[in-house]
Every structure is written in structure tokens, then in C-alpha cells.
Amino acid sequence: MSFPVDPVALSQALIRRPSVTPADEGAMDVLQRALEALGFACRRMKFGEIENLYARRGTARPNLCFAGHTDVVPVGDVEAWAAGPFEAEVRDGVLYGRGAVDMKSAIAAFVAAVSAVDVAGSISFLITGDEEGLAQDGTKRVVEALAAEGEVIDHCIVGEPTSAARLGDMIKIGRRGSVNAWIEVEGRQGHVAYPHKAANPIPVLIALLARLQARVLDDGYEGFQPSNLEVTTVDVGNAATNVIPAMAKARLNIRFNPAHKGAELVEWMEAECRAAGEGFDGRVSLKALVSGEAFLTREGPFTQVLAGAVEEALGVTPELSTTGGTSDARFIRSLCPVVEFGLVGATMHAIDERTPVAEIEALARAYQRIIERYFERFSS
């Protein structure tokens, strides 16, 4: 079966735009032209230097949104690639290029799917050029702007590469949240032979990290792994054998399930830092950044539509999973239920990122079936 819009040709056109975050290099124009040809009203929403696009066809509800990003991570060592990272070459039925998996081909597959359907309701695209970077001027700001206008999105599918070993074997219905923290313990430098004249920050930092690590955050949450705190570095950098250093630093990351809110974890760490500083002739400070809250789209009619359509189109029963890192779904969750489904992620961010052409076409068929089933189920 072929589509009015060829998903492989559109993937290639997108990959040929070297849109390494924050550059766009015309990638959004390629997409906008394809969508306008299908009758979409396109709005460019530029924030800072970032190109974003919100496109919608139809005005009625329900509004099913596809979300994704046209930006890609850097290519690394160009010489190490078997085919040029932005040439979008097909070799033996495999498309090579940065973005082939994460996630230009998924965008193209959804456009192809849309080109083959006519629905009672609306289909929209929320596409950013800032997912792989800071993600400050991307989906986050588009979602804020759409919410302020009262734009209604009923359900959203993010096209991240969620399949594990085989196309269709995994759909993500939630993600853990993430918080990073930087701890500094500042004491007073001195001679190791005269410790009473110094204030060694290292024992304070060790005891503090031990207390933070000792807390069992939870035993898991509805299909989520237990939350986990991981110390990622401890730095003193003291080259001398006879000096008590003035400063000891550490960094940690917590991946947390919906049993926690980022702000509560930060408050807890701040309290532990205050306690660690009691009686210490120095300063214990913490800087923390919540990069995303945890979310879960509970199993129900929407996830059933997804799973059923994937099974029908691909002959694979998808696992509904909450594993993996964060994605822009963390911002969209404030608008509507959101899930993620896309290609096999094996080569994403790697040298020789690639995907079989047949899998791009199969993904387009799966998206088409999802769209059809969705409107059968949710159109009134």
C-alpha cells in the first residue's frame, strides 16, 4: 500500500536539512509545505532563536495531536559514518542519517498517515526545534501559549523512538521525572597537622551523601520502577598530602516516579543540607533543577486504541511501559493525556543512525490505523 505523501521521501527531505539544535536550516519549512498541501493551517511560533510549528486541520473535536521535534543531536565524527549524516542515503533498503530514528522519519510517517485519512474531528501537529537542547524555547513555551489561548487538544501521541527490539513492541505511557542537584561544602583550608585550625568539608559531604543515599524513596508506583538517587560525581581536587582542602563538591540526579513531586524532593535535600551544616564552621549549599515531573497516562480507552491499532497494523502486542529518560511529553501532560510511540531506538544519537525503509512505511501504516481507530472511538 502506498500513501499520497511518501513517508520515505519526506524523511529524506527532512534529514537533508542539518538541523542540529538550535539550528533549523529550513527543516520546519519542509514540514510546513507538506502540511499546507494537505490542508493544514500552520502557525510558526518562534521563541528565542527556536522555530516551532503548530498546525491543525479541522476545527471540530476531538483534536488528536502528533508531537515531535525536527532538531537533531550533533553527528560526532563525520568520518566514522558509513554514509553522510545529512545525505539521507538509502543503502540495501536502509535509510541512513541523523534524525532517521530520532525522529524525522516518525514525523514523516505521521504526515503520510494523515494524507491517507479523512476524519470527523481535527488532527494537529506540535513540532519543535528544541527538544535535544535546553528545551526552554520549544514545546514548553508552545504548550504555555496554546493553553493561554484556550486551544483544546484532546489526546497526544509523541513520535519518539519507543520500540525496543521490534517495531511496535513498546509504547510509553509515562516517564519518570528528573531532578539534578549540585552540592557545595565550603570549609576552611589548613595544615593536616593542625586540624583544629581548619574546617574539613569532606567528612561533612560524605555524611550528607550517605544520608541522602540511605533514604528509600519508594518501592515503585503503578508500573514504575522505584525512584532512585544516584551520586554522579564527588570532586575535591586536592593534590597535596598535607593540606585540608577548603571545598568539596558533589552532583547527583534523582529519577522519580509519580509518588513524588520535584519540588518536594528539592525541599528534602535542602533540609538535609541544613542539618549537615549544623555545628560545622563552614557553609553547605545546594542548587537544584527539576528538569521534568513524572507523569502517567493510565490504561483506558486511549491506550486501548493505540495498542489495538499497533497490533492490527504490525502484528505485535505492544508493552505499555514507563521506562527510559525524559521527553517533551513531560510538558504536554499538562494539556491532555499523552503517550509516545515510534521507531526502534537502537541507533538513536549514534554514529550511523539508520532505519529500514520498510519500518518507516510500517510505522505510517500503524499511525494510520491509530488515527482511524481513534476517531471511531472518540468522535461523537
Site residues (CB under 5 A) for Zn ion? 102-103, 160
Nearest in space to 328 (alpha carbons), one of 175, 163, 112, 121: 175
Closer CB to Zn ion, residue 7 or residue 129?
A: 129
Yes or no: say if 265 and 218 are a contact pair by the CB < 8 Å rule.
no
| Residue 72 CB, nearest approach to Zn ion (Å) | 8
Q: Which of 6, 51, 71, 154 is catalytic?
A: 71
- Decide whether 189 or 347 has the Cβ nearer to Zn ion: 347
Which residue number places its CB atom closest to Zn ion? 102
Q: Which among 348, 343, 375 is positioned nearest to 362, based on CA atoms? A: 343
CA dihedral 356, 362, 366, 369 (to 10 degrees): 160
- The CA distance from 352 to 82, in Å, is 6
CA torsion angle 243 245 246 252 (round to 10):
180
The residue assigned the cell 525522529 is 103
Long-range CB contacts (within 8 A, 24+) of 42-48: 45/141, 45/142, 45/145, 47/137, 47/138, 47/141, 47/142, 48/22, 48/136, 48/137
Q: What contacts 189, CB < 8 A, 6 or more positions away? A: 198, 243, 244, 245, 246
- Please, which residue, 102 or 186, has the CB nearer to Zn ion? 102
CA distance 101 to 45: 25
- Beta carbon nearer to Zn ion, 21 or 200: 21
- Given 24, 51, 102, 131, the catalytic residue: 131
CB of 18: closest distance to Zn ion in angstroms? 16
| Residue 71 annotated as catalytic | yes
372 flagged as catalytic: no
In angstroms and rounded to an integer, the radius of gyration of the C-alpha atoms of the chain is 24
| Cβ-based nearer residue to Zn ion, 187 or 342 | 342
Closest distance of CB 2 from Zn ion, Å: 27
**Closest CB 4 distance from Zn ion, rounded Å:** 26
Distance in Å, CB of 69 to Zn ion, minimum: 6
Which of the residues are catalytic? 71, 131
